[in-house]
Structure 1
């Protein structure tokens, strides 16, 4: 699983989350920041109220927590989600020793787990897609 810092960097770079069953998340900057939650139609559901997504905790007696705004949550994308988001830029994933390496059209990205390597590649992909090259004409 990617770290909260890497998830935050993806969010800050512009990655947007549309909560769906199976998604993992943490409550950002809260006493629950070390807890990882998974959206499930039985326990945690995403509800849309007037254009705002709220994550409702159904039947939770462990905490005094009924719901949290999706904007206050930090999406922790899974490996398959990160790979899909890389789209046609993705070339390969290899594992050698203790490192996983993701190859894309842009570069190679290594980490000790596949999800982090994918996340690093996606972060660079997002940032590079938002940059204007000095060689490109401006409108």
Structure 2
């Protein structure tokens, strides 16, 4: 009897959630990687640095705080090697990450894609995020 009560309590918790959005009929486009262009990058900051958080040393440009600058560099000798440099406005410190050292050299067990849904045109565009562009240890 207790098991049945527990199961009904669990079920009622799920039933209390708002209904899902109605399904959408969307045109789906998947883009292949172009060696002449950078695919999207995914970066994470194990130090706890949050590039989206407001910082006291952001400069004001036209009344708005300027975001950190992000630059990506590709090796001319080994094009698969990439470095990302994040510079906080007004700071003398650059945060540098790469896809060829540190945690990035470990095994990759996942693949990633970035999808952008355009409500107006009812289309979903999907871009592959290459495994070697993920896990920048910054």
Provide the TM-score with structure 2 as the length reference: 0.27
Higher relative CO (CA 8 A, sep ≥ 6), structure 1 or 2? Answer: 2
- Tell me which protein shows more helix as a share of its residues: 1
Provide the TM-score with structure 1 as the length reference: 0.27
